Structure 1
């Protein structure tokens, strides 16, 4: 066997081991919550060596951050939906569909999102990760607002970044209410209401 083939096998084994640990960690986090979960429990459940686990992750925070990235990719896909409206009405339709999909995803991923919320309140590293995630969404929303302004659909006198932050924070508030199962009204009602208020203020 050539050196390259040996290296490829090692790399594949390393990927499989990392995935095995992530799957085990997800189960442990869901069962124990962030605070009580330990990397030892994850290693035991994954049936891998301690040294092997620490090659991939420094601790449970690192593992959770990767799991956050995996879940948030599903939210990013919603945020990246093409936004090229030709009218105010078309813009409202796209925005409402995005808001509803975003909040429905919070329902779908409720169990892991509950773990993330616990961790954000406890771990500085996870809190910083959430801030970075938030900024990624805000940057994407800002681009859509700039586009709408260029097409003379949105008010040009408003700062796109400030508007984008306001819109994301509104969605984020309802996201966490849904995660906690504290929301009043259906996801569709919430999406319709917040979209109405947002678009009436922004669009000409």
Structure 2
């Protein structure tokens, strides 16, 4: 087993246990047992279980990017298709990892700096900024805000919309309406 595989096994095991029993009730011993590694191996990569939080958040962002990369490139030749793919992917990832997302937010804000959080998001912002630059260069969006500013707004709206539905919704909320409202907001921002 490669060194990096052991680190990934620890992260995946921690994610499963955190989802089942919660962060506070999980011990390093439980994590290493599930990962099939020695306790000393854990400490090669992490000083404490708190240090797992950025790795878990980074894993979720990478999953989002992996899911987006599975769309054919020609899917993103127009803004409405791009918006639809972003919404579907963000809602899918949020649903998949909803038990860990709130934990990551609170853990990163408590244990780590927001600079680390932004660094984690750099590949995602770059991905969105590249698409925005393409749309701007081809006069497909009317907004002349910089791609950095638009990218931050888009990510914020996407995450807020998906998290409001999956983390804070009441039983009256409708998934399709939530996605439609988000789509309207993004269309108004870009077109």
Instruction: Report the TM-score range of the alignment, normalised by the length of the smaller protein.
Output: 0.7 to 0.9
Q: TM-score, normalised by structure 2?
A: 0.77
**Matched residues in 2 for 1:78 and 1:16: separation?**
21
Question: Does the Cα contact within 8 Å between 1:148 and 1:154 map onto a contact in 2?
Answer: yes
Q: TM-score, normalised by structure 1?
A: 0.73
**Matched residues in 2 for 1:94 and 1:46: separation?**
38
CA 1:130 to 1:189, structure 2 compared with 1: closer, same or farther past 3 Å?
Answer: farther
The answer for the alignment partner of 1:173 in structure 2 is 160
Q: Secondary structure at the match of 2:130?
A: helix
**Matched residues in 1 for 2:143 and 2:168: separation?**
37
Q: What do the CA deviations read for 1:103-138 (whole angstroms, capped 9, x no partner)?
A: 12211222222332331332215x544322334323
Q: What do the CA deviations read for 1:15-46 (whole angstroms, capped 9, x no partner)?
A: 56445433432233223433443324423554
Q: Which has the larger radius of gyration?
A: 1
The answer for the alignment partner of 1:111 in structure 2 is 99
Question: Does the Cα contact within 8 Å between 1:21 and 1:53 map onto a contact in 2?
Answer: yes
**In the alignment, structure 1 residue 185 sits paired with structure 2 residue 173:** yes
Q: Describe how 1:1-204 pairs up with structure 2 within 5 A.
A: 12=1, 14=3, 17-46=6-35, 48-80=37-69, 81=71, 82=73, 84-85=76-77, 90-124=78-112, 127-155=114-142, 157-182=144-169, 185-203=173-191
CA 1:96 to 1:121, structure 2 compared with 1: closer, same or farther past 3 Å?
Answer: same
Question: Does the Cα contact within 8 Å between 2:61 and 2:124 map onto a contact in 1?
Answer: no
RMSD: 2.9
**Matched residues in 1 for 2:67 and 2:85: separation?**
9
Question: Does the Cα contact within 8 Å between 2:154 and 2:186 map onto a contact in 1?
Answer: yes
Stretches of structure 2 that go unaligned for 5 or more consecutive residues are: none
Stretches of structure 1 that go unaligned for 5 or more consecutive residues are: 1-11
